[in-house]
């Protein structure tokens, strides 16, 4: 009986004493208590060091909605393993000067220190169950930040990015580097943007190490990266749904090189103007590639690395392959697998560099012939 009472008391206290913390790089002071708009911390790191499971850290953008830049690299260390207490997430959100959380794309900007030696990353994630919203991770250009977000915590779980941007990093916008034995799980990128990464000559947008875990990408824009736009770790299944992936020097959507233990879904994406639209590194036993547009890629719309086994492509149908430089696909004499495919012009609203809009309203668009709906409900662009 006493054990039940104690358990109830602990649960009750965990709800009652969840806290909201504030950071304002302009008006704040790290000697403040950080628990009110009028007494915010100055640096993001001090705020991160203060939060616990179920807490909220509000990054104050400004009274008039002006963006504010924090110039520190931030380490979310093992002390933030919320799952050690519960799966209730910590929220790191941008808000206005009144404390109202933004729901649009207004961003608090986190940039790194002046050189790679001083600031390898914008934020190092070594924790579980963190939600970031409306934050830009800006590497600041060549020779400054290697990663906007770096994860090297084995088994990191439940990390979510909503309406965040990862830009101008020397290597990757987001890179998760973990062991195969304990891959990360339940990551989400929702309405995010990754562009201009790989400035040091390698890297890309949002990329895992090999097949290290699963992440879902929904409604994101990944473009103008030196390397890969979006990388799917296949070890526990991943989803790429309704993303614009375009003008990346390497692959648009890359599926990593280990056999999948979960189903991979690549549905409703536009892969335009990349080296390859979609590339599969190894036979994926459970994969669905459906209702995608693979157009104007330098080599292949769908690149399987010349596999001799077409059986695993049974889930590939109803896609549009248009004007890819080498062929629609690198096998089967260039004939796409499955049914319901089209090869005509999708007639997007705009493919002008810097003003891309991958919606379509022209009734002569080939996409109307396949049952492909107006898949890109989000305008793309820089």
In the predicted model, what is the mean pLDDT of residues 252-273?
A: 81
This prediction has a pTM of 0.88
Q: How far is CA 152 from CA 155, 175, 180, 293, in A?
A: 9, 9, 12, 33
Compute the mean pLDDT over every residue in the chain, rounded to the nearest whole number: 80
pLDDT band at 194 (very low <50, low <70, confident <90, very high): very high
Highest mean pLDDT of the ranges 21-25, 195-199, 234-238, 264-268: 21-25
Helix (H, G, I), strand (E, B) or coil at 43: coil
Contact 113, 139 (CB under 8 A): no
- DSSP output for 125-186: E-SBSEEEESEEEE--STTT-SEEEEE--TT-B--EEES-EEES-SSEEEEE---SSS-EEE
Does 16 score more than 70 pLDDT?
A: no
Contact 249, 225 (CB under 8 A): yes
According to the model, what pLDDT value does residue 177 have? 66
According to the model, what pLDDT value does residue 118 have? 59
Sorted by where each starts, the structural domains of the chain and their CATH numbers stand as 61-369 (2.160.20)
Q: Which residue has better confidence, 362 or 148?
A: 148
pLDDT band at 376 (very low <50, low <70, confident <90, very high): very low
pLDDT in tens, 101-144: 988 777 899 887 666 655 678 888 877 788 999 999 988 877 77
Structure-block tokens of residue 192: 């995010």
Does 180 score more than 90 pLDDT?
A: no
Q: How far apart are CA 335 and CA 239, in angstroms?
A: 25
User: Which range has the worst mean pLDDT, 39-53, 179-193, 210-224?
Assistant: 179-193
What are the beta bridge partners of residue 110?
70, 137
Q: How far apart are CA 205 and CA 222, in angstroms?
A: 6
pLDDT in tens, 53-92: 889 999 999 767 788 888 877 877 644 444 434 467 889 9
Q: Which residue has better confidence, 55 or 259?
A: 55
Q: Which residue has better confidence, 68 or 33?
A: 33
pLDDT in tens, 284-336: 557 889 999 999 999 999 998 867 667 777 788 889 999 999 999 998 889 88
What percent of the chain is predicted at pLDDT more than 70?
A: 79
Q: How far apart are CA 336 and CA 330, in angstroms?
A: 9
Does 11 score more than 90 pLDDT?
A: no
DSSP 235: T
pLDDT band at 7 (very low <50, low <70, confident <90, very high): very low
pLDDT band at 379 (very low <50, low <70, confident <90, very high): very low
Does 244 score more than 90 pLDDT?
A: yes
Q: Which residue has better confidence, 337 or 183?
A: 337
According to the model, what pLDDT value does residue 13 have? 47
């Amino acid at each position: 009986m006493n054990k039940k009472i104690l358990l109830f008391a602990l649960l009750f206290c965990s709800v009652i004493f969840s806290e909201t913390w504030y950071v304002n790089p302009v008006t704040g002071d790290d000697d403040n208590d950080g628990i009110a708009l009028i007494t915010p911390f100055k640096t993001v790191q001090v705020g991160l060091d203060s939060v616990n499971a179920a807490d909220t850290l509000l990054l104050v953008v400004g009274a008039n909605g002006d963006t504010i830049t924090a110039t520190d690299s931030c380490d979310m260390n093992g002390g933030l393993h919320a799952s050690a207490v519960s799966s209730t997430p910590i929220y790191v959100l941008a808000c206005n000067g009144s404390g109202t959380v933004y729901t649009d794309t207004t961003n608090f900007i986190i940039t790194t220190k002046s050189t790679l030696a001083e600031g390898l990353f914008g934020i190092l994630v070594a924790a579980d169950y963190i939600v970031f919203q409306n934050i830009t991770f800006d590497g600041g250009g060549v020779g400054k930040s290697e990663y906007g977000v770096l994860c090297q915590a084995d088994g990191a779980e439940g990390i979510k990015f909503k309406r965040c941007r990862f830009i101008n990093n020397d290597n990757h916008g987001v890179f998760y580097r973990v062991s195969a034995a304990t891959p990360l799980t339940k990551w989400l990128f929702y309405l995010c943007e990754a562009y201009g990464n790989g400035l040091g000559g390698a890297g890309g947008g949002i990329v895992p190490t090999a097949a290290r875990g699963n992440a879902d990408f929904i409604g994101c824009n990944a473009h103008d990266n030196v390397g890969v736009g979006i990388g799917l770790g296949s070890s526990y299944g991943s989803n790429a749904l309704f993303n614009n992936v375009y003008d990346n020097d390497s692959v648009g959507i890359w599926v990593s090189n280990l056999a999948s233990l979960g189903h991979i879904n690549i549905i409703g994406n536009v892969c335009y103007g990349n080296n390859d639209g979609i590339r599969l590194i190894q036979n994926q036993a459970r994969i669905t590639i459906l209702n995608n547009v693979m157009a104007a890629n330098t080599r292949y719309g769908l690149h399987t690395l010349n596999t001799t086994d077409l059986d695993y492509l049974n889930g590939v149908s109803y896609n549009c392959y248009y004007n890819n430089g080498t062929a629609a696909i690198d096998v089967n004499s260039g004939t796409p697998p499955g049914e319901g495919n089209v090869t005509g012009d999708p007639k997007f609203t705009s493919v002008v560099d810097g003003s891309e809009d991958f919606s379509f309203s022209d009734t002569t668009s080939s996409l109307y012939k396949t049952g492909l709906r107006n898949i890109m409900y989000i305008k793309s662009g820089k």
